Amino acid sequence: MAELIHTCYRIGDIDRSVAFYEALGFEETRRMDLPDGATNVFMGLPGDGPRLELTKNPGVDSYEIGTGYGHVAITSDDLDATLEALTAQGIEPEKPPYSVRDGGSRLCFVRDPDGYRIELIERSA
């Protein structure tokens, strides 16, 4: 049976990106230097595998995200507490939390240092 093991995207600065994802609760699980000079950093949430691969290519400081990328979604047990902790680290939501429908989960979006959107979804009780 097939399994989705990770998502990869390219970043401009390893330390800046690792710090951002650590603020979201990710942990760096592995770092690999490749023969072409690129570096892959694998990040995962505690108790899960390395689901996010961040690739830093030599000589490239930024990328165009393009129109096809949407977002990566992660859950939060307490969205307000998560946003408070992120704000303390200089990470602000695009707009205040909201629900898509009555009785639906609260959510909001933040952007990582390279402009990728990350959706934070509060887990239902």
Residue 92 catalytic? no
Residue 28 · residue 17 · CB < 8 Å: no
Q: Percent of the chain beyond pLDDT 90?
A: 82
- What's the whole-number average pLDDT of the chain? 93
Fold (CATH) for 1-61 = 2,3-Dihydroxybiphenyl 1,2-Dioxygenase; domain 1 (3.10.180)
Comparing 2 with 8, which gets the higher pLDDT?
8
Q: What is the pLDDT of residue 49?
A: 92
Hey, where are the domains in the chain?
1-61, 70-125
Is 70-125 a CATH 3.40.920.10 domain? no
Domains 1-61 and 70-125 fall in the same CATH topology = yes
Distances (CA, A) of 92 to 34, 62, 66, 84, 111: 33, 21, 22, 9, 8
22, 27, 119, 122: the catalytic one is 119
The two tokens of residue 122 are: 């509060």
Q: What is the pLDDT of residue 72?
A: 93
pLDDT digits (tens, 9 = 90+) for 55-106: 999 999 989 988 888 999 999 999 999 999 999 999 999 999 999 888 889 9
